[in-house]
Structure 1
Amino acid sequence: MDPEERDWAEVMGLDRLPRHIVEKRVTDLMDLGGKKAIVTGAGGDGLGQAIANRLGGCGADVALVGRTLEKVERRAEEVTRRWGVRAVPVRADMSDWDQVHRAVAECREALGGLDIMINNPVMAHAGPFEGFTREQIDHTVLGSLTMMMYGAHAALEHLLPQGSGKIINIGAVGGRIQQRGLVVYNACKAGVVGFTRNLAHEMAPRGVNVLGVAPGIMIKPDLQRRVLDPRSDQDRAALGAVAEAITTQVQLGRVCLPEEVANMVAYLASEAAGYMCGQTIDVAGGQWMN
């Protein structure tokens, strides 16, 4: 090629196209065998443990991080037993800067590397904004946005030197719509969308890809029990708000399982999503404001 053609080829990145994927199945591209992943908020019955299971099911070794060691130990044992991969439990309070950085370093050491960081914060308050205390505002901002920044910062200490890796931030569809009683939480989740987009813009040229997932209304085992047997006025009020949202906003007309959201996380973590960058994908049954 003459110099002009060589310049155009470089500009278009023709030498960096993943041509090896052409003859592969999508399921082949979603094989995470050999990858090392960290999932925060992984000790409970919700999205964290579902993500750890999905990544383990795709072949990744997984470190499960949570505030209660016994819970993440139990979940790690389940992942190993079910999928035959290595699963490491690590205790840390992700609201503490030093603990976050220590935990991520500990996870990387235990796994023998780090390729995928799943930021899944789990702390928030709900209710009319005028009733919030300063402590509740601070706690919600910390648990819904700041903790995610801590986790990403800690992961980048390891991903940037190697020039590769993915960070996937868990937001919420509430970050795109307005909902009564979730003013602070939804504002933070809108911040997650912006954080994901801007961090991706900064990190993509350095080999680290940043993406996000925005769940809608998920139902965990404890909520299923409360649906079948609401025992307080607060339970009944919360269920009424959920029912209204499902009937007026969710196009599929139902709640979702954490595993359905975890499906998208596993996809984004894989080579199948290699040309996605900075986006936050809704997994919310088509939820929108009517």
Structure 2
Amino acid sequence: MTSQDDFAQTMGFDRLPEHIIDKRVTDLMDLTGRKAIVTGAGGGGLGQAIANRLAGLGADVAVIDINGDGATHRAQEIERRWGTRAVPFQADLSDWDQVHDVVNRSVDALGGLDIMINNPVQVVSDAFENHTKADIDYTVHGSLTMLMYGAHAAIEHFLPQGRGRIVNIASVGGRIQHRGLTVYNASKSGVIGFTRNLAHEFALRGINVLGVAPGVMINPLLRDILANASDEQSLAAKGSMLEAVDKYIQLGRVSLPEEVANMVAYLSTEAADYMCGQTIDVAGGQCMN
């Protein structure tokens, strides 16, 4: 092999996606025929918004949640809205065996797997000195460990086929400090680091790993709860959100889950193929002074 050939091979000229040059970005975001899993998608928050965004781009989706009735409702809603397949599954994502089993069953039902969205969340919001061991374990397991379980289960399918996409849901809290969320924010810092390192380990084996870090999201149910807040925990959450919007969010408002889901959907498509290991903030410019 000549030095010129060595140079071309090292630069990856033979792997450049030249077929995209004359296409629209919207063409590259077509997920028709792709198979996706979204965890934590049975409620009214980010998971269902992601499942809807992926289905809206043409993907068939497995809707996984600990709430089996919620997963069934969301799957039916997705099929009516978009005309793609949506298959519900109930699973406790804190259980290693259940996670691997539900991913296997999802792959069988969908006929394959291309995209894994890891969106588990469990959090205790309180001053750190008030945390019990159970509080810490619950938050770390629900905000970091469960996500690792999902990634591991997906990789078992991605490695034999030599391709796959994982998108991990972190939080802008993983980059900033916030009273009352010390354990949660530390766990989400772990998600950002996990995403970066998992990408480094598997990118050259065909598995791309990316992350999205939401800020303050609000859905209709949460809006009603906060509007009528009376108990100490709800009032504290309301005060924290008001402070964040007033002082730290540059756009001066909270977000809808669908706004965050837009980025997750983009990262799941061919349009994001040259991104790797990054976690993208979708948080209205939220930062700490």
TM-score range, shorter chain: over 0.9
d(CA) in 1 for partners of 2:75 and 2:66? 14
Deviations 1:36-76 (A, max 9, x none): 00000000000000000000000000000001211100000
CA-CA distance at 1:109 after TM superposition: 0.3
- What is the aligned partner in structure 1 of residue 231 from structure 2? 232
Residue segments in structure 2 that go unaligned for 5+ positions in a row: none
Q: 1:96-175 to 2 correspondence within 5 Å?
A: 96-175=95-174
d(CA) in 2 for partners of 1:243 and 1:29? 39
CA-CA distance at 1:237 after TM superposition: 2.3
Q: 1:269-280 to 2 correspondence within 5 Å?
A: 269-280=268-279
Mapped pair 1:254 → 2:265: no
Deviations 1:59-99 (A, max 9, x none): 00000000121110000001100000000001110000000
Deviations 1:188-238 (A, max 9, x none): 000000000000000001100000000000002222102332232332222
d(CA) in 2 for partners of 1:117 and 1:178? 29
* SS at structure 2 position matched to 1:252: coil
d(CA) in 2 for partners of 1:65 and 1:234? 28
* SS at structure 1 position matched to 2:112: coil
* SS at structure 1 position matched to 2:41: coil
| Matched residue type, 1:71 | G
Mapped pair 1:211 → 2:224: no
| Matched residue type, 2:216 | I
- What is the aligned partner in structure 2 of residue 56 from structure 1? 55
d(CA) in 1 for partners of 2:95 and 2:235? 34
| Matched residue type, 2:184 | Y
d(CA) in 2 for partners of 1:26 and 1:67? 36
Mapped pair 1:79 → 2:78: yes
| Matched residue type, 1:18 | P
- What is the aligned partner in structure 2 of residue 92 from structure 1? 91
Task: State the TM-score, normalizing by the size of structure 1.
Answer: 0.98
Q: 1:6-85 to 2 correspondence within 5 Å?
A: 6-85=5-84
* SS at structure 2 position matched to 1:226: helix
- What is the aligned partner in structure 1 of residue 199 from structure 2? 200
d(CA) in 1 for partners of 2:145 and 2:78? 28
Q: 1:178-189 to 2 correspondence within 5 Å?
A: 178-189=177-188
d(CA) in 2 for partners of 1:282 and 1:25? 25
* SS at structure 2 position matched to 1:100: helix
* SS at structure 2 position matched to 1:11: helix
CA-CA distance at 1:241 after TM superposition: 1.2
d(CA) in 1 for partners of 2:237 and 2:181? 12
d(CA) in 2 for partners of 1:50 and 1:153? 24
CA-CA distance at 1:5 after TM superposition: 1.1
| Matched residue type, 1:115 | D
Q: How many pairs align? A: 289
d(CA) in 2 for partners of 1:189 and 1:35? 28
* SS at structure 1 position matched to 2:126: coil
* SS at structure 2 position matched to 1:6: helix
* SS at structure 2 position matched to 1:89: strand
Task: State the TM-score, normalizing by the size of structure 2.
Answer: 0.99
d(CA) in 2 for partners of 1:179 and 1:212? 21
With 65-74 and 222-231 compared, the bigger mean Cα shift is at: 222-231
